[in-house]
Amino acid sequence: MESMWSLAAAIALSSQIQNEAIRIPISVLSSLSTPTLLAADTPTSDPDAESTVKSLLSSLKRAGYSNASQGIWIQTTNGTMLASHNGTKPISAASLTKIATTLAALDTWGTNYQFITKISTTGKIVGNTLQGDLIIQGSNDPLLVWEDAIAIGNAINRLGINRVQGNLIVTRGFYMNFETSPATTTSFFRRAINAQTWSPAISKLYQAKRSQISPPRVTISGKSLYRSNFTAPNTLLVNHASLPMWQILKRMNTFSNNEMAEILANTLGGGRAIAQKVGTTTGLAGEIRLINGSGLGQKNQISPRATVAMLIAIQNLAQAQGLSLADLFPSGQCRCGTIRHRNLPVGAIVKTGTLSDVSALGGIFQTRDRGTIWFAILNRGAGDIDIFHRVQDQVVLALTQKWGQLQNVEQGLASFPSLPNFKPIPWQDSDRNEIVLPSIELNPK
């Protein structure tokens, strides 16, 4: 089954196919707010959308860009096809690839999964000194940054440790500040846990965060070492939990962070494994070709239809756990990250993608008359990438104006109460360090 049935068709046919191989997913039948993907041969049915797409293609053709290199898919939540051009053709997707990484991560770990970095020791605590090595056991956390390492240092201080009379040992999977080199990450960590070695930039960051924790002071007398794994007996001191998965993904997508995407993708098995996973989830394996999880490289190719299919699958997974696309991607009103200088309406939730000759935009925008519109626009051609940005924004704005622009998200909920709620949930970070009382001699007299 290449794509999901429309909701109406699913309800009508479910009683007829119970004993056949093809089954309608329970998620499709469970809620009228579940978006559905259309089949490739569904005819377009909206003159406004068709006219707007033709205008886009004409503008690009006049500027010297071949229509054969452009791809578009536009549909409503309830299964009305609005416009398509090369809709099923895989096109270089740039950072729309991160939509696939997002779907694979949610499907594998769920929205609230946290990576746990373990801080342990081979020795014992005597006075304010840890007599032994300090071990950092990595967990593939893609977003462990200065603030996290500073908080870990503070937790070590709270154990009564100010000095490590041994080495700092980090294991495979420990990354910091989007760096994966062990030499770099160990240097960063040593500096973070000892405020006396902070650079002005780190001090400024600490002050800007108005942290409630004291600046840590942990000095390490030994060397910095790397081990692929650490099997010697050791005692756990601190568990550091990452941000929940949905917050990691929101930051990755808002800033289109390639390093975060690659760490997640490598943990998931690489780009081809992600393509296989999301291809199975969407039923569109032939329209998704990936070599990595970030979108770097022209060989990451996704069709416009598959882009929309992945967004729908993400929404369905998120909705089942109390979230929505608004909690995973930047929205038009935030004017942040990669959409800081884009001209997008209130209610738009999008992912951008840009390479030297590729620009892509996929997501949703919300209208008064048509509800939520799901779309993907993938453009390719050597020249001025900004022209692609402009025509993409113009399509979204033109259709929003024709179908009624929302003044705020609440208006959309009032107009279409049965459709998905794309209002982001409030969230505030907290202390994510668990101090484990060690079963070793602790501050003996």
Task: Specify the CATH number for the domain of residue 228.
Answer: 3.50.80.20
Q: Which pairing describes strands 358-367 and 81-85: parallel, antiparallel, or unpaired?
A: unpaired
pLDDT above 90 for 45: no
Please list the residues that pair with 170 across neighbouring strands.
136, 226
> What local confidence, expressed as pLDDT, does residue 334 receive?
86
> Rounded distance, CA 271 to CA 252, Å?
16
Burial of 22 by CB count in 10 Å (0-12 exposed, 13-18 middle, 19+ buried)? exposed
Residue range 323-339, pLDDT digits in tens: 999 999 999 888 899 99
> Rounded distance, CA 187 to CA 125, Å?
24
Q: When comparing pLDDT for 181 and 13, which is higher?
A: 181
Q: When comparing pLDDT for 80 and 377, which is higher?
A: 377
Contact 282, 107 (CB under 8 A): no
Q: Is residue 423 part of a domain?
A: no
Give the start-end residues of each E strand in 203-312: 219-220, 224-227, 235-241, 288-289, 301-302
Q: What does residue 53 show for φ and ψ, rounded to 5 degrees?
A: -65, -40
Together in a domain, 253 and 389 = yes
Together in a domain, 40 and 144 = no
Q: What angle do CA 403, 405, 408 make, to 5 degrees?
A: 145
Q: Is residue 133 part of a domain?
A: yes
- Mean pLDDT computed over 268-294: 97
- For the ranges 79-83, 106-110, 429-433, 440-444, the lowest mean pLDDT is seen at 440-444
Residue range 419-442, pLDDT digits in tens: 567 888 888 888 999 999 765 555
Per-chain mean pLDDT for the chain: 87
Contact 353, 295 (CB under 8 A): yes
Q: Is residue 214 part of a domain?
A: yes
Together in a domain, 255 and 396 = yes
pLDDT above 60 for 8: no
Together in a domain, 275 and 395 = yes
pLDDT above 50 for 255: yes
Together in a domain, 214 and 164 = yes
- For the ranges 39-43, 182-186, 425-429, the lowest mean pLDDT is seen at 39-43
Q: Is residue 440 part of a domain?
A: no
- Mean pLDDT computed over 82-101: 97
Domain that holds residue 35: 7-111+247-406
Q: Is residue 78 part of a domain?
A: yes
Together in a domain, 169 and 288 = no
Together in a domain, 261 and 368 = yes
DSSP string, 117-183: EEEEESSEEETTEEES-EEEE----TT--HHHHHHHHHHHHHTT--EESS-EEEETT--BTTB--HH
The distance in angstroms from the start CA to the end CA of the chain is 71
Q: Can you tell me whether residue 33 is helix, strand or coil?
A: coil
Q: Is residue 415 part of a domain?
A: no
DSSP string, 235-251: EEEEEEE---HHHHHHH
> Rounded distance, CA 256 to CA 146, Å?
20
Residue range 114-172, pLDDT digits in tens: 999 999 999 999 999 999 999 999 999 999 999 999 999 999 999 999 999 999 999 99
Together in a domain, 389 and 277 = yes
Together in a domain, 210 and 289 = no
Amino acid at 249: L
Together in a domain, 234 and 347 = no
Together in a domain, 59 and 126 = no
> What local confidence, expressed as pLDDT, does residue 280 receive?
96
Q: Is residue 413 part of a domain?
A: no
> What local confidence, expressed as pLDDT, does residue 346 receive?
86
> What local confidence, expressed as pLDDT, does residue 422 receive?
83
> What local confidence, expressed as pLDDT, does residue 3 receive?
34
Together in a domain, 210 and 327 = no
Number of folded domains in the chain? 2
> Rounded distance, CA 304 to CA 162, Å?
55
Q: What is the residue whose two structure tokens read 């090369």?
A: 86
